[in-house]
Amino acid sequence: MSSDTALDVLTRQQNDPTFASVWDELRWRGLVHVSTDETALKEALDGEPITYYCGFDPTAPSLHCGNLLQLLTLRRIQLAGHKPLALVGGSTGLIGDPRPTAERTLNTPETVADWVDRLRAQVSRFLSPDGENGVRLVNNLDWTAPLSAIDFLRDIGKYFRVNSMLKKDAVAARLNSAAGISYTEFSYQILQGLDYRELFLQYGCTLQTGGSDQWGNLTSGTELIRRTEGASVHALGTPLIVNSDGTKFGKSEGNAIWLDADMTSPYAFYQFWLNTSDADVVERLRQFTFLTRAEIERLEQAVADEPFRREAQRTLAFEVTAVVHGVEASQAAIDAAAALFGNGDLTSLDERTLRSAIAELPGSATLPGDADVAKALVETGLVKSLGEARRAVDQGGVSVNNVRVEDAAARLSDLALPGGVVVLRRGKKTLAGVTLA
Ligand X SMILES: N[C@@H](Cc1ccc(O)cc1)C(=O)O
Contact 402, 343 (CB under 8 A): yes
User: How far apart are CB 214 and ligand X at their closest, in Å?
Assistant: 6
Q: What is the largest CA-CA distance in the chain?
A: 83
Q: Is 301 annotated as a binding residue?
A: no
Residue closer to ligand X by CB (options 167, 404) is 167
- 181-200 residues near ligand X, rule: CB under 6 A: 192, 195
DSSP state of 210: E
Beta strands at 421-426 and 430-436: parallel, antiparallel or unpaired: antiparallel
> Rounded to an integer, what distance in angstroms lies between the CA atom of residue 357 and that of residue 364?
10
Site stretch for ligand X (CB under 6 A), options 10-18, 51-59, 166-174, 265-273: 51-59
Residue closer to ligand X by CB (options 214, 313) is 214
| Interaction between residue 92 and ligand X (CB under 6 A) | yes
User: How far apart are CB 142 and ligand X at their closest, in Å?
Assistant: 12
| Interaction between residue 84 and ligand X (CB under 6 A) | no
> Rounded to an integer, what distance in angstroms lies between the CA atom of residue 141 and that of residue 198?
12
Q: CA dist 428 to 280, 309, 393, Å? A: 30, 20, 13
> Rounded to an integer, what distance in angstroms lies between the CA atom of residue 191 and that of residue 144?
8
| Strand ranges for 216-333 from DSSP E | 234-238, 251-252, 255-256
> Rounded to an integer, what distance in angstroms lies between the CA atom of residue 74 and that of residue 126?
8
User: How far apart are CB 289 and ligand X at their closest, in Å?
Assistant: 22
Residue 14 neighbours by CB distance under 10 Å: 13
Among 25, 57, 260, 379, binds ligand X (CB under 6 A): 57
User: How far apart are CB 191 and ligand X at their closest, in Å?
Assistant: 7
- 134-163 residues near ligand X, rule: CB under 6 A: 140
User: How far apart are CB 54 and ligand X at their closest, in Å?
Assistant: 7
Q: Which residue is nearest to ligand X (CB)?
A: 55
> Rounded to an integer, what distance in angstroms lies between the CA atom of residue 423 and that of residue 401?
5
With a CB cutoff of 8 Å and minimum separation 6, the contacts of 121 are none
| Interaction between residue 289 and ligand X (CB under 6 A) | no
User: How far apart are CB 172 and ligand X at their closest, in Å?
Assistant: 17
What's the gap between Cα 363 and its chain centre? 26
Site stretch for ligand X (CB under 6 A), options 55-63, 232-240, 254-262, 404-412: 55-63
| Interaction between residue 89 and ligand X (CB under 6 A) | yes
Please provide the size of the chain in residues. 437
Site stretch for ligand X (CB under 6 A), options 20-28, 52-60, 105-113, 379-387: 52-60
User: How far apart are CB 423 and ligand X at their closest, in Å?
Assistant: 40
Beta strands at 255-256 and 251-252: parallel, antiparallel or unpaired: antiparallel
Among 50, 69, 72, 87, binds ligand X (CB under 6 A): 87
| Interaction between residue 330 and ligand X (CB under 6 A) | no
Q: Is 192 annotated as a binding residue?
A: yes
Q: Is 251 annotated as a binding residue?
A: yes
| Interaction between residue 214 and ligand X (CB under 6 A) | yes
| Interaction between residue 237 and ligand X (CB under 6 A) | no
> Rounded to an integer, what distance in angstroms lies between the CA atom of residue 286 and that of residue 26?
9
> Rounded to an integer, what distance in angstroms lies between the CA atom of residue 395 and that of residue 380?
19
List residues binding ligand X (CB under 6 A).
55-57, 87, 89, 92, 97, 140, 192, 195, 214, 217
Binding site residue list for ATP: 251
